Chain A
């Protein structure tokens, strides 16, 4: 039985509640406890870091300070939250002056952060703490025949070397071959989807997202599996726009990795929030999941 602090993040509270639900289901199935971080605030994302740096670090460190009190490793499923929280920890460690400044700010709120928290991504925990053996043991429905394009995105593998390779990460590939799925050749696995550019420079983001879907289609994938709410949003909700802009006809399901893993653990599509997806369903063992 393992315990972790859990930082859902803003987007998992609304548009991507399916990610939230599926992470919780998967971890519970693997006998791990997620304790939601007490009164967490938004990590600040890239938007805050690029406007006011110290404020960005300070609000992100507030979460770390609270996690420090809870004493467990902090799990953040959203790629942006993960990278910002990890960056805050790392930069505070590397720059004692920054740590001092940030702690001066935290003191105003009756908190302090002493670099004792380990920020983890659920993928890292699944592979390195829980292990593939246990995941295999707990698998109820082998995903034979499901062809997956594993899309890692930018922020869980970069900028610093973390739990996986920065150019050719394999954790998600290993995870899904353990439960019987096939991983297609997918050289776009760490390419950028455009992120927030979808709202500011839409044409640029549409091009990047299109290339990611196109590559999956060309390599015969049944679905793209991702770890990031923003990637999921760009690839899924803007597929119609992409089809319009490039005269294509894509209808590629975009799923969170915990949703697919949940299917292997025998949860239903509605338990995992797959019915909330906007694109087509996927077939597992000949049966269509959702729609």
Chain B
């Protein structure tokens, strides 16, 4: 049976409430994030975005959908992964909304909730990056690319070879990773910081009870009721 995303305003579904709370929590680390409420839907962000042509939901619509109570569509969008974080939207927003930081927050939320296709490129790249960083404290570019291609598309590694060889000829590839001396304390800092990044669940915050929006129907419940 095909899952249909029904957009009828109503009391927010449990899932939507959960996503909203988690999203608002993600915004905590963004100064002046409450400006998201003052969007005038002028579209300057979309017009300034160099990659909006490749997005399914434009930056303007990102803010609109959040306010309309439909986080789920946002998290399933291609938009949050295509953003190149060039900050053009954020720089020009007349309402001073930190659009890029909001898209970052959505990215983190999608990863926290495991909403992305398997072997998804952006996710795999970030994960490979994190893995190398945690063990060396510095990034090793060659290793990052190998990890990444092995995870997503091993064949791409072959097409990357000619460029790799040209770079090697010019002595631009470091074969061994460089490691920081105080790696022990570095890892302690990360371990502590990870405690602050734990996933959050609904129930911690009560103020969303009874909120309304377009993310009203729980897909799962909808499926079950039709069975």
Is B197 engaged at the interface, CB distance under 8 Å to the other chain? yes
Would A105 and B189 be within 8 Å (CB), given that A50-B107, A91-B31, A204-B54 are in contact? yes
* Cβ–Cβ contact B138 & A55, under 8 A: no
A204 to B182, CA, bound (A): 39
For A66, the closest partner residue in chain B by CB is B182
Is A170 engaged at the interface, CB distance under 8 Å to the other chain? no
Is B88 engaged at the interface, CB distance under 8 Å to the other chain? yes
- Within residues 56 to 84 of chain B, which ones have a CB less than 8 A from any CB in chain A? 81-82, 84
Interchain nearest-CB distance for B188 vs A (Å): 4
Would A158 and B91 be within 8 Å (CB), given that A54-B29, A95-B31, A200-B125 are in contact? yes
- Chain B residue contacts of A10, Cβ below 8 A: 138-141, 178
* Cβ–Cβ contact B87 & A154, under 8 A: yes
For A18, the closest partner residue in chain B by CB is B172
* Cβ–Cβ contact A108 & B86, under 8 A: no
Is B205 engaged at the interface, CB distance under 8 Å to the other chain? no
Interchain nearest-CB distance for B41 vs A (Å): 21
Interchain nearest-CB distance for A55 vs B (Å): 4
Is A276 engaged at the interface, CB distance under 8 Å to the other chain? yes
- Chain B residue contacts of A107, Cβ below 8 A: 192
* Cβ–Cβ contact A108 & B189, under 8 A: yes
Set A53, A110, A154, A199: member contacting B125, Cβ < 8 A: A199
Per-residue CB contact flags for chain A residues 198-209 toward chain B (1 = under 8 Å, else 0) read 011100110010
A44, A53, A166, A208 — most chain B CB neighbours (10 Å): A53
- Chain A residue contacts of B185, Cβ below 8 A: 108-111
* Total number of B residues with any Cβ neighbor in A under 8 Å: 63
Is A268 engaged at the interface, CB distance under 8 Å to the other chain? no
- Chain B residue contacts of A166, Cβ below 8 A: 91
Per-residue CB contact flags for chain B residues 162-194 toward chain A (1 = under 8 Å, else 0) read 010011001111100010111001101111111
Per-residue CB contact flags for chain A residues 39-69 toward chain B (1 = under 8 Å, else 0) read 1111011111111111101110010000000
Is A168 engaged at the interface, CB distance under 8 Å to the other chain? no
A53 to B33, CA, bound (A): 15
Is B121 engaged at the interface, CB distance under 8 Å to the other chain? yes
- Chain A residue contacts of B28, Cβ below 8 A: 97
Per-residue CB contact flags for chain A residues 97-110 toward chain B (1 = under 8 Å, else 0) read 11001101111111
| Stretch of A120-128, A135-143, A188-196, A255-263 contacting B (4+ beta carbons < 8 Å) | A188-196
Per-residue CB contact flags for chain B residues 109-131 toward chain A (1 = under 8 Å, else 0) read 00100000000011001110110
Is A15 engaged at the interface, CB distance under 8 Å to the other chain? yes
For A94, the closest partner residue in chain B by CB is B31
* Total number of A residues with any Cβ neighbor in B under 8 Å: 67
Per-residue CB contact flags for chain A residues 147-161 toward chain B (1 = under 8 Å, else 0) read 000000011001100
Is A11 engaged at the interface, CB distance under 8 Å to the other chain? yes
Per-residue CB contact flags for chain A residues 1-23 toward chain B (1 = under 8 Å, else 0) read 00000000011011111000000
A151 to B126, CA, bound (A): 27
A106 to B191, CA, bound (A): 11
- Within residues 160 to 217 of chain A, which ones have a CB less than 8 A from any CB in chain B? 166-167, 190-192, 194-197, 199-201, 204-205, 208
- Chain A residue contacts of B39, Cβ below 8 A: none
Per-residue CB contact flags for chain A residues 213-251 toward chain B (1 = under 8 Å, else 0) read 000000000000000000000000100100000000000
Interchain nearest-CB distance for B77 vs A (Å): 14
* Cβ–Cβ contact A15 & B173, under 8 A: yes
A154 to B90, CA, bound (A): 12
For A205, the closest partner residue in chain B by CB is B84
* Cβ–Cβ contact A109 & B178, under 8 A: no
Is B196 engaged at the interface, CB distance under 8 Å to the other chain? yes
Set A17, A50, A53: member contacting B29, Cβ < 8 A: A53
Interchain nearest-CB distance for B97 vs A (Å): 11
Is B15 engaged at the interface, CB distance under 8 Å to the other chain? no
- Contact sample, A vs B, 19 pairs, CB 8 Å cutoff: A14-B173, A17-B172, A41-B137, A42-B139, A45-B139, A50-B104, A51-B107, A54-B197, A55-B197, A57-B193, A95-B31, A105-B193, A105-B196, A108-B191, A167-B91, A208-B84, A237-B163, A237-B167, A276-B172
